[in-house]
Chain A
């Protein structure tokens, strides 16, 4: 979903090898589309319910499909592995990858213009799904179709991690499913055990409790830790900063960053809407209430003791800062673990880093009477089928979609490029279970306990807000929060300004 740590690639495949694979795929792509254009074509041989599985996989042999995806590891991994899909089905899939904003724009015009240049789309839950969900094909009729190959694990809610199917597949209502979970990025805490241990005594002397990170560690503790490290660093001690936030120029990650803190403290949400399905008419926002002002202030206080480059560092840059040993802790997306564990690129590798659930809410900060939880959020990328495509094209696309999210494929991606599984059955595989402890061949698996067993479980997980105006909401929010963090605007003014702008955005003023 977000930027992909390049280093994620290298756990198994050597860098050279990976780049060669990518390059070959990219050149095939470049030349192919140059000569053939981008159109999808369909050729079909009829199959019956009684036909063999092989015949069902092969029924669209000779067809061409175009998949517009974000530049994420699964997309690269699948592109590298596309030959096995071709061998299985005879369908030629062209995978185009772009930056999320470009993907959004192209996919948007395609969908809304009634065209189907990109039969298959990467449906990032909020940035793409929320505004365009209505334009995707409903997959439910295809799930039970016995003239199509089907995944033995099925597609029910149980097959995926909790809420994942709804997150990227259901928009504003039950029933229709427009995408299958393809990859995910779930937040968890990365921290430097070595630094925590080394400084524990000093910390305890000053704050009266041990410097350690547990599921009970609150945002207030995190602020203490950040302040402690900052003070020590400024006193000339050889320690990095304690913490850093996600700002930089990608508004969505700024929103996710403050959302975790807001949700942790009393499960506060921007709108009183269904968190799983979202709402097309969210109504009046909760921004501006006492709870939001409190947390905005706390978020700023934390920023003040965090890495000074907060406002220039996006998610990816932040990870570089952590890799280079310049911060002791970050709340980061679990797909980045692979890049942290790469000895050649990271000073935080080799067992120095531990992974834990996101920090918990601080009871004394909660004004709305809510619960203190380990607020955790995510981006879940789905693979969806363009609703404008012809019936046969949809069926052919479906074959690719279920293949790309199958257990074996997800396992391959995890092994190769450091992917992020969405199917429960991947986690159940013995190799994956083994990889969840050091030493590991799949570094991302080190986070799985924090992510899949704790973070995404109720009551910690916040999925929304799913609203059609999601992207503008991110931009407004990021702009205002950054004004507050930089000290240009008080917490109260920020929340009030957000209230006015967001209510106007949703015509709820």
Chain B
């Protein structure tokens, strides 16, 4: 089904193209993974080893990159001394909480939007999605002031609510697409059989459950990776991993080893989650515009 399959005869041009693509893909693969690899390896180097670098143009010297004795100090440092365990918990609670709220409220809203018509519905829908598009920096000041007056700053509930500002519209937008694909006839049939409205709603949930699950994960990913909200609304009592990682830059000189280790700790779970929901990723990242 791929375009190349039908070109079963090779022209010199297509051959060249194939060679070139292979080389290009190879380079691109290295380019994509190298920073992650460097981060990973550097997290096991002590400071002086991480600073070893060959002379300019000394290509063979690049081997010094691997010349180190692996150490777990930085990880120990993060967990034993810097309290990263509690930052992980904060990240999990904040990201998970907001994802959960967003998906629960979002599916209720999306379901309704999918089932009824009313005047101004498209405007409402546009407003919902535009809140998701708004630049974070732009809304931060008023949001902070509001959270501040509700005593939510520096608390996990505050952070959960902050993340909901971008996760909820996202969930509504995406989930509506899911419900649109479930025919109303199913609920109708249920209600004819004597089910209440709510029972009818519940009965179709299993049909969209896998999708909802995937988008729950995606919401977690967005919230987990957030920095600005976490730094300004969460910091203090609800410090998350990205903020804690960033903080390693300043007060402790530049603790590169620990920063890299913290980077690994922050990134790895999301990479794994990313693999799990790979199928939904494109849909999610394009706000449902493109499906794989």
Q: How far is the CA of A319 from the CA of B83 in the complex (A)?
A: 27
| Contact in complex: A22, B239 (CB < 8 Å) | no
Check A6/B238 contact, CB under 8 A, given A16-B81, A19-B82: no
Cβ of A382 to closest chain B Cβ, rounded Å:
19
Minimum CB distance partner of B253 in chain A: A6
Minimum CB distance partner of B47 in chain A: A345
Q: How far is the CA of A106 from the CA of B234 in the complex (A)?
A: 12
| Contact in complex: B237, A38 (CB < 8 Å) | yes
Check A7/B155 contact, CB under 8 A, given A30-B239, A96-B236, A98-B235: no
Task: State the main secondary structure of chain A at its contact with B.
Answer: helix
Please tell me which one of the listed residues B77, B87, B238, B239 contacts residue A19 in the complex, with CB atoms under 8 A apart.
B77
Minimum CB distance partner of A2 in chain B: B250
Residues of B within 8 A of A (CB): 47-48, 51, 77, 80-83, 86-87, 90, 144-145, 148, 151, 153-156, 231-232, 235-239, 247, 249-255
User: Which chain A residues (90-116) contact chain B, with CB distance < 8 Å?
Assistant: 96-99, 102, 105-106, 109-110, 113, 115
| Contact in complex: B252, A4 (CB < 8 Å) | yes
Q: Kindly list chain B residues whose C-beta atoms are within 8 Å of the C-beta of A5.
A: 253
| Contact in complex: A320, B80 (CB < 8 Å) | no
Q: Give the top 5 A-B pairs by smallest Cβ distance, nearest first.
A: A33-B237, A6-B253, A19-B81, A6-B252, A71-B251
| Contact in complex: A23, B82 (CB < 8 Å) | yes
Cβ of B93 to closest chain A Cβ, rounded Å:
9
Q: How far is the CA of A388 from the CA of B236 in the complex (A)?
A: 21
| Contact in complex: B254, A317 (CB < 8 Å) | yes
Q: Kindly list chain A residues whose C-beta atoms are within 8 Å of the C-beta of B238.
A: 33-34
Q: Kindly list chain B residues whose C-beta atoms are within 8 Å of the C-beta of A152.
A: none
Q: How far is the CA of A486 from the CA of B247 in the complex (A)?
A: 30
User: Which chain A residues (340-388) contact chain B, with CB distance < 8 Å?
Assistant: 345
| Contact in complex: B235, A26 (CB < 8 Å) | no
Is residue A3 contacting chain B, with contact meaning CB distance below 8 A?
yes
| Contact in complex: A34, B237 (CB < 8 Å) | yes
- Return 16 A-B CB contacts under 8 Å, by A number: A3-B249, A3-B251, A4-B250, A6-B252, A7-B253, A23-B80, A23-B81, A26-B82, A27-B86, A33-B154, A33-B238, A37-B151, A71-B247, A71-B251, A324-B51, A345-B48
Cβ of A124 to closest chain B Cβ, rounded Å:
14
Check A320/B254 contact, CB under 8 A, given A30-B239, A345-B47: yes
Minimum CB distance partner of B235 in chain A: A98
Q: Kindly list chain B residues whose C-beta atoms are within 8 Å of the C-beta of A26.
A: 82-83
Is residue A476 contacting chain B, with contact meaning CB distance below 8 A?
no
Please tell me which one of the listed residues B48, B236, B239, B254 contacts residue A38 in the complex, with CB atoms under 8 A apart.
B236
| Contact in complex: A6, B236 (CB < 8 Å) | no
Cβ of A96 to closest chain B Cβ, rounded Å:
5
Cβ of A257 to closest chain B Cβ, rounded Å:
19
Minimum CB distance partner of A323 in chain B: B253
Check A97/B155 contact, CB under 8 A, given A26-B83, A38-B237, A109-B148: no
Cβ of B92 to closest chain A Cβ, rounded Å:
13
Q: How far is the CA of A148 from the CA of B250 in the complex (A)?
A: 36
Q: Kindly list chain A residues whose C-beta atoms are within 8 Å of the C-beta of B155.
A: 33-34, 37-38
Minimum CB distance partner of B156 in chain A: A34
Is residue A494 contacting chain B, with contact meaning CB distance below 8 A?
no
Cβ of A248 to closest chain B Cβ, rounded Å:
12
Check A20/B254 contact, CB under 8 A, given A37-B237, A71-B247: no
Is residue A39 contacting chain B, with contact meaning CB distance below 8 A?
yes
| Contact in complex: A316, B254 (CB < 8 Å) | yes
Q: How far is the CA of A78 from the CA of B88 in the complex (A)?
A: 26
Minimum CB distance partner of A250 in chain B: B250
Is residue A205 contacting chain B, with contact meaning CB distance below 8 A?
no
User: Which chain A residues (309-343) contact chain B, with CB distance < 8 Å?
Assistant: 316-317, 319-320, 324, 339
Please tell me which one of the listed residues B231, B232, B236, B250 contacts residue A33 in the complex, with CB atoms under 8 A apart.
B236
Q: How far is the CA of A33 from the CA of B83 in the complex (A)?
A: 14
| Contact in complex: A97, B253 (CB < 8 Å) | no
Q: How far is the CA of A27 from the CA of B83 in the complex (A)?
A: 6
Is residue A428 contacting chain B, with contact meaning CB distance below 8 A?
no
Cβ of B40 to closest chain A Cβ, rounded Å:
22
Is residue A228 contacting chain B, with contact meaning CB distance below 8 A?
no
Minimum CB distance partner of B252 in chain A: A6
Q: How far is the CA of A59 from the CA of B86 in the complex (A)?
A: 34
Q: Kindly list chain B residues whose C-beta atoms are within 8 Å of the C-beta of A37.
A: 151, 154-155, 237
Q: How far is the CA of A26 from the CA of B247 in the complex (A)?
A: 13
